[in-house]
Structure formats: structure tokens, C-alpha cells
């Protein structure tokens, strides 16, 4: 499950970068979205 989630996250980031986004900004935003959706601590 972790590998599938990581692969999906990477594909989403690469698609955003291909559309002309900043690499660093895109990777950070994608990670934060993944974190927000999947790792709730409350």
C-alpha cells in the first residue's frame, strides 16, 4: 500500500512539473497534499 501511494504521489508531481510548475514547489505541495489526505493524527 505504501509503494502504491508513493507511486501515485510521484506520478502526480511529475504531471504537474510537466505542465510547467516549479520542481521544488510542486514536490513540496504534492507531499503536503498526500500527508494531509493520508496521515491524520487527530
DSSP assignment of 3-36 equals: HHHHHHHHHHHHHHHHTT--HHHHHHHHHHHHHH
pTM of the model: 0.60
For position 32, what pLDDT does the model report?
Answer: 87
Place of cell 493520508: 38
- Whole-number Å distance between alpha carbons of 9 and 13: 6
- Chain centre distance of CA 12: 6
Under the banding of pLDDT at 50, 70 and 90, the label for residue 3 is: low
For position 1, what pLDDT does the model report?
Answer: 46
Phi, psi of 16 (to 5 degrees): -65, -40
- Give the tens place of pLDDT for each residue, 10-22: 888 888 899 988 8
Domain ranges of the chain: 2-38
For position 13, what pLDDT does the model report?
Answer: 85
Amino acid at each position: 500500500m505504501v509503494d502504491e501511494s508513493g507511486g501515485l504521489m510521484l506520478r502526480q508531481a511529475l504531471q504537474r512539473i510537466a505542465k510547467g510548475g516549479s520542481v521544488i514547489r510542486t514536490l513540496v505541495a504534492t507531499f503536503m497534499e498526500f500527508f494531509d489526505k493520508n496521515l491524520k493524527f487527530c
